[in-house]
Structure 1
Amino acid sequence: MAKDLLFEIGAEEIPAGFMPNILGQLKQLAETKLNDAHLPFESIATYGTPRRLALIVKGLADTSAEISERHKGPSASIAYDADGNATKAAIGFARGKGLDVADLVVEDGYIYAETKTAGVPAKDIVSEMLPQLITGLNFPKSMHWGNLDAKFVRPVRWLVALLDEEVIPVEFATVKSGNVTRGHRFLGADEITIKNAASYVDTLKENFVMVDQDARRELISKQLHDIAASKNASIVWDDDLLEEINYLVEWPTALCGGFEESYLALPDAAIITPMKDHQRYFPLVDQNGKLLPMFLTVRNGSDHSIEVVQAGNERVLRARLDDAKFFFNEDRKKPLIDRQDGLTKIVFQEGLGNLADKTERLLKLGRVFGEECGLHEDAAVVLERATELAKTDLTTGMVTEFTELQGVMGKEYALLDGESEEVAEAIFEQYLPRFAGDVLPQTEAGKVLSIIDKVDNIVATFSRGLIPTGSQDPYALRRQTIGILNILLGSEWNISLRPIFKASMELLNVAADKQDELLGQVEEFFTLRLKNIFLDREVPHHVIDLLLSNNELSVADAEGLVNALLANRIDENVELVQAYTRMYNLVKDLEYTGVNSDLLKEDAEKALFEAASKASEASLAAWEANDYAAVVAVPATLVPAINKFFEDVMVMDKDEAIKSNRLQLVRLAYSVMAIIGDISALK
């Protein structure tokens, strides 16, 4: 009869940000192990609160499935002698499979052993599996406690392991499993007996623990929106904040608090950031989107004495807003332009000067980038001014206290100083995108400032030998690189980043004999990130490898070619791939120096020369016009002439002059593919 399995790991409060990944790991790991053990089940789910991780498997079979396997042995001629008697090879093979030699069967000239493994009781499988689930989880950070060698995300305090009502013995870090869990830290019982696995969720609910995170999230959202509606207000919504709150509470109760209207004189960002990032409050706005002197938060408990909790939250927020008000008033005593001297006191990176030095580099790098992309004169003026002010808000008290406001307060202060909206917006946009899925810069100056700031960061960090490896990326260089690529993918600029990288290395005083190596490292880093972007869009691997084999492509070229290749799948044209692969093998290392038409003797080579000359011109013209569809279409037009050439012409002629000329002809024909990429990537 099918049974339900419950496994709960009780611990000290687990960081909210870790929980989704841990629960996903726990489910995947359990599912894999049950499948590997051939133990059938109906469903599997994981639940989590700040104090517990829980696994529930429903409909677990009593025993694992019987396994029948067929093992191939030596050939029959080796297994049996001329008289049909089993040899040592057959006897040894049968013994190794636990069979009598008479049980072996002969088929297709080989001997086979058919074995059956009896099913294993579910209890035995689960007893072995549960400790492996604990040790198989990976965390961003783990803890040791006491004098134990065991480590976990937080100290483990209790374990519950039940197969229906039967306790499965498990031990970890001196904690032994049982059927006793704990309720809400303040509202529930210290010890709660779980009668059986099926009653787990309801039993905890009776003790003020809503263990199902999906139900908890839905309830929190409903409570928040109901309160907002009652106030005729809208929530400044944030899914990430909701997810964090969801894993901070076991019994959620939303409430509304308020603050003095006088604080609304502050910029909205100076109010919202302390609310969301520091206090985990949801701000409220009126129907016109204007910030209201109210907030929503979620209590980990019931509505008992909710007014006391409300007053406490209001008191804490008031202190935060007082700080913000003080910093804002102090900051306004000095305009941003007068804060440039303060940049000399902020170190950029070890051995690479301060932020004043970085600002000077960005001013020069902006001019280089502007020339490369043909930046309009008006945008260039905006870029120059925005770059001068870009880092000055880092010297303000507001940004020192609330680092999340870098760029945000720069924009606010620039507007208050009388700077143009374009300059203020570029100051803000320099940090975009800040995270995956964030908005991209929209202004020309903002795009350039964002790119050159990130390029300076990346090249500077690489120059110190701090290249990200594995999961280690303390300077977030991968995120910044993807940001640059996404900005370029969404822009009209068809430019190479190589001149920008080289200019950055010069400005960072990278030794001349180190620049080529550093350039290669940076370009390879960017190429890998671009490959990941295309993979996320489900572009086939070999299509990506084809175009990225051409290291002369700009980001815009790569984007255009990807779209063209997806529309015209030349990689699936077997005849085309074979024809160009044959040419590639002949001329992959040959430099094109020209074809002497006087040395062309055969009709097939004359025809190929004429067709290849026209195709090469058409390909180059399409490339210059950024007509990537035409570029991708050209190679197919040469296939008949290429095939005829190889049928009728001996390329490796005895006459060196003719041989060399024919190789040059092949190189000319291959050029219409080389402009796209290396055909060998499609092998």
Structure 2
Amino acid sequence: MAHTFLLEIGLEEIPAHVVTPSSQQLVQKVKNFLEAERLSFEEIKAYSTPRRLAVKVFGLADKQADIEEEAKGPAKKIALDAEGNWSKAAQGFSRGQGCTPDDIFFKELKGVEYAYVKKFIPGRLAKEVLADLKAVVMDLKFPTMMRWADNDFEYVRPIKWLVALLDDEVISFNVLDVETGRTTKGHRFLGETVTLAHADEYPASLESQKVIADAKKREALIVSQIEALAKANAWDIKVDPDLLEEVNNLVEYPTVFAGSFAAKYLAIPDEVLITSMKDHQRFFYVTDKDGKLLPNFVSVRNGDQEYLENVIAGNEKVLTARLEDAEFFYAEDQKQTIADYVERLKKVMFHDKIGTIYEKMERVSLIAEFLGEKLGLSETELADLKRASQIYKFDLVTGMVGEFAELQGVMGEIYARLQGENDAVATAMREEYMPISAEGKLPKTDVGAVLSVADKLDSIQAFFSAGMLPSGSNDPYALRRQALGIVRIAFAKDWALSAPLLRAAIEYAFEKRPDLYKNIAPVKNETPLRDFMIDRVHQLLNDEVRRDILETVIANKENPFVAERKAAQTLADHIEDETFKETIEALTRVGRLAAKMDKEQKGEVDPALFEDEAEQQLHQAVETVAKEFATADLEEKFMALQTLREPISQYFEKIMVMAEDEKIRANRLRELAKIADLTAVFGELDNLNIK
């Protein structure tokens, strides 16, 4: 007989951003638990609101699956003594398995006979197993944890009630002083306590008490109500997915409503209005069919239509107060010039161990100058980059950004245009902050992208030199995200950014203005910074290619990041080729021998020292490939390396590389080293799994 099981954890209100991942985590942990306990089921459905996390398991088996298995014991010669009697080892083995020596039989394994017994483990009833879910409930992890009362136990919020029902039977366990039962809570203001007679009554019983426990159903209701408002008023309402999820996780019974604000505030830039509504008040903004912002907003109430006019008035009042502030700061900020703001940055600390924001801009300007030239920006772009790098942080000391920190960069672009800066410079003000998250939008313009890379690189180098490296999950200055942003920009722009090039940019700035590096002079050991960047390449490519391919391409830490990605894609494209295994075996054998060459043995290959035709053939093949490499892309380079497979094979059949004659040995190693240098574009081929 199939059963339905319900588990609900009732809590004080959970932060909105925690609800969805916590619900997903609970589903996964319950799934893992049931599978580990051999309790079969058909489906697990998640339910969540700000006050509860729940799962409902459908088609749950009566009991665990029985286990019948063979347990292996000591070898026969140990299990039996000289007289053929059971030894103490055999007796202990059988006793440990819950059997007697009479149950022992012998089976041969790899030429040796061993003692075995057959074990039968009957499955426990589902209701007995489910009591162990207490551990699952207590094991949930959250980004923020708290204690309450005099407990040492930590959780996202205090647990208020627990429901655990197998059909109509309560599964008994407790967490702290909260016992499981069949009672759940309706809406905090509109509902009452609900006693569930059967697990099947959930979530319908809650809905009668103004709680829609199904998050997807709740979200669909919000969207349909927004669409109805938009249609009725001929509005266009952009339903931002992130905002929708946040709002959905703030309510248990959603009612959508519309409010308005004075049309005079439309003189404020749209970005400010949208930030005030979306980020601060969690409102959806409204536009006409042409995309022009209207003096209206849409929000969601946690309740029904009762007294909705009071809710609307309250929200309008709060928004108006914020827009009054925005209007004031927007007018005041324009009374000063960009030069005035830049001058003020000389007294604003970026970090007390690093220096001022003005000093940071000066360093970034030099780093950007170096990178811009290396990456091939035009003269016009370099001029725009120079201007942008000299002022790009000015908006940090404006009143608007002081009040609306989310608008840093955005206000820089707006104010730059108002004060006559050209489009390229103004756009770079905003793009310098991109990406603002691990998967955020990237800069579109080359000027903005170089400035973004330069700023992030300066931050990483400064904090590293000041000894403030990320450790474990601790990364207070978001250096990992900034490094990831550099690599993502390199990938998107197909720029040859590499650890050595970034290091060179820092050294260029340091040589030009050592006074800007008083406490953060570049450290002589570049390994930590280099490895830090390569780790971000690893992070981005981890889902794209096989692990051994990834380890292969990132082993050469001098290669540009984009070249490592292309090398990984090339190897992945050819790994199923019939000749791939033989090609890699030949090239890795060359690499291992080339590694034995001493520094003093380096130099040009001398054909006069060849003793066999195989040496001449390999030399000619290598010269041909080397010439092709000069203009070839990675795909063509790999195909060229494949042509060396046969000459290398013939070479090793006829040639003893480590000859007694020192000159001949060195000459042969030089030949192999040249091949190894060619393969370096693909990393360390030894890391490939070609078995």
Q: What TM-score does the superposition give when structure 1 sets the normalisation length? A: 0.95
SS at match of 1:563: helix
Structure 2 residue identity aligned to 1:185: R
Q: 1:368 to 1:314 in 2, by over 3 A?
A: same
Does the aligned pair in 1 maintain the 2:570–2:635 contact within 8 Å?
Answer: yes
Q: Which moved more, 1:430-439 or 1:215-224?
A: 430-439
How many residues are matched?
Answer: 675
Per-residue displacement from partner, 1:580-639 (whole Å, max 9, x unpaired)?
2222221224254222222211222222222222223323x13xx5x1111111221111
Aligned to 2:159: 156
Aligned to 2:6: 6
Aligned to 2:277: 275
Aligned to 2:642: 636
Aligned to 1:169: 172
SS at match of 2:210: coil
Aligned to 2:255: 253
Does the aligned pair in 1 maintain the 2:603–2:670 contact within 8 Å?
Answer: yes
Deviation at 1:652, TM superposition (A): 2.4
Deviation at 1:27, TM superposition (A): 0.9
Deviation at 1:417, TM superposition (A): 1.2
Deviation at 1:653, TM superposition (A): 2.4
Q: 1:453 to 1:93 in 2, by over 3 A?
A: same
Aligned to 2:207: 205
Per-residue displacement from partner, 1:378-416 (whole Å, max 9, x unpaired)?
111111221222111111111011100001111111111
Q: 1:328 to 1:669 in 2, by over 3 A?
A: closer
Does 1:576 pair with 2:583?
yes
Does the aligned pair in 2 maintain the 1:123–1:168 contact within 8 Å?
Answer: yes
Q: Percent identity?
A: 40
Aligned to 2:141: 138
How far apart are the structure 2 equivalents of 1:461 and 1:511?
Answer: 10
Q: Which moved more, 1:407-416 or 1:538-547?
A: 538-547
SS at match of 1:25: helix
Deviation at 1:277, TM superposition (A): 0.4
Task: List aligned pairs for 1:24-43, cutoff 5 A.
Answer: 24-43=24-43
Aligned to 1:559: 565
How far apart are the structure 2 equivalents of 1:212 and 1:446?
Answer: 44
Q: 1:386 to 1:665 in 2, by over 3 A?
A: closer
Per-residue displacement from partner, 1:200-222 (whole Å, max 9, x unpaired)?
20000000000011111111111
Task: List aligned pairs for 1:357-368, cutoff 5 A.
Answer: 357-368=359-370
Does 1:298 pair with 2:306?
no
**Structure 1 stretches of 5 or more lacking a match?**
none
Deviation at 1:166, TM superposition (A): 1.6
SS at match of 2:154: coil
How far apart are the structure 2 equivalents of 1:563 and 1:40?
Answer: 41
Structure 1 residue identity aligned to 2:97: K
Does 1:594 pair with 2:604?
yes
Does the aligned pair in 1 maintain the 2:127–2:166 contact within 8 Å?
Answer: yes
Aligned to 1:66: 66
Aligned to 1:112: 116
Per-residue displacement from partner, 1:484-521 (whole Å, max 9, x unpaired)?
1111112143243534334436355278996232x211
How far apart are the structure 1 equivalents of 2:439 and 2:153?
Answer: 38
Does the aligned pair in 2 maintain the 1:616–1:671 contact within 8 Å?
Answer: no
How far apart are the structure 2 equivalents of 1:667 and 1:499?
Answer: 24
Aligned to 2:391: 389
Aligned to 1:533: 540
Structure 1 residue identity aligned to 2:582: E
Aligned to 1:92: 92
Aligned to 1:665: 671
Task: List aligned pairs for 1:406-485, cutoff 5 A.
Answer: 406-485=408-487
Structure 1 residue identity aligned to 2:573: A
How far apart are the structure 2 equivalents of 1:628 and 1:511?
Answer: 42
Deviation at 1:143, TM superposition (A): 0.8
Aligned to 1:123: 127
Does the aligned pair in 2 maintain the 1:41–1:59 contact within 8 Å?
Answer: yes
Structure 1 residue identity aligned to 2:96: G
Per-residue displacement from partner, 1:140-180 (whole Å, max 9, x unpaired)?
11111111222210111111221222222222231222211
Aligned to 1:52: 52
Deviation at 1:272, TM superposition (A): 0.5
Does the aligned pair in 1 maintain the 2:545–2:569 contact within 8 Å?
Answer: no
Q: 1:566 to 1:682 in 2, by over 3 A?
A: closer
Does the aligned pair in 2 maintain the 1:459–1:522 contact within 8 Å?
Answer: yes
Does the aligned pair in 2 maintain the 1:335–1:413 contact within 8 Å?
Answer: no
How far apart are the structure 1 equivalents of 2:366 and 2:663?
Answer: 52
Q: What TM-score does the superposition give when structure 2 sets the normalisation length? A: 0.94
Q: 1:134 to 1:512 in 2, by over 3 A?
A: closer
How far apart are the structure 1 equivalents of 2:106 and 2:154?
Answer: 53
How far apart are the structure 2 equivalents of 1:215 and 1:378?
Answer: 54
How far apart are the structure 2 equivalents of 1:48 and 1:386?
Answer: 47
How far apart are the structure 2 equivalents of 1:604 and 1:568?
Answer: 27
Counterpart among 364, 369, 372 of residue 370 in structure 1:
372
Does the aligned pair in 2 maintain the 1:61–1:122 contact within 8 Å?
Answer: yes
How far apart are the structure 1 equivalents of 2:83 and 2:615?
Answer: 66
Aligned to 1:181: 184
Does 1:521 pair with 2:528?
yes
Counterpart among 609, 615, 620 of residue 605 in structure 1:
615
Does the aligned pair in 1 maintain the 2:353–2:519 contact within 8 Å?
Answer: no
Task: List aligned pairs for 1:229-378, cutoff 5 A.
Answer: 229-378=231-380
Q: 1:524 to 1:283 in 2, by over 3 A?
A: same
Per-residue displacement from partner, 1:504-543 (whole Å, max 9, x unpaired)?
36355278996232x211111111111111123x211222
Q: 1:520 to 1:16 in 2, by over 3 A?
A: same
SS at match of 2:8: strand
Deviation at 1:36, TM superposition (A): 1.0
Per-residue displacement from partner, 1:355-379 (whole Å, max 9, x unpaired)?
1111111222221112221221111
Structure 1 residue identity aligned to 2:464: F
Deviation at 1:453, TM superposition (A): 0.8
Deviation at 1:350, TM superposition (A): 2.0
How far apart are the structure 2 equivalents of 1:128 and 1:670?
Answer: 58
How far apart are the structure 1 equivalents of 2:519 and 2:117?
Answer: 68
Q: Which moved more, 1:81-90 or 1:393-402?
A: 81-90
How far apart are the structure 1 equivalents of 2:154 and 2:566?
Answer: 50
Structure 1 residue identity aligned to 2:534: T
Q: What is the aligned-residue RMSD (CA, Å)?
A: 1.9
Q: Which moved more, 1:213-222 or 1:501-510?
A: 501-510
How far apart are the structure 2 equivalents of 1:432 and 1:357?
Answer: 21
Deviation at 1:473, TM superposition (A): 1.6
SS at match of 2:301: strand
How far apart are the structure 2 equivalents of 1:84 and 1:640?
Answer: 63
Deviation at 1:560, TM superposition (A): 3.1
Aligned to 1:227: 229
How far apart are the structure 2 equivalents of 1:426 and 1:239?
Answer: 27
Does the aligned pair in 1 maintain the 2:163–2:180 contact within 8 Å?
Answer: yes
Does the aligned pair in 2 maintain the 1:382–1:445 contact within 8 Å?
Answer: yes
How far apart are the structure 1 equivalents of 2:479 and 2:203?
Answer: 43
Q: 1:55 to 1:570 in 2, by over 3 A?
A: closer
Deviation at 1:562, TM superposition (A): 3.0
Q: Which moved more, 1:627-636 or 1:390-399?
A: 627-636
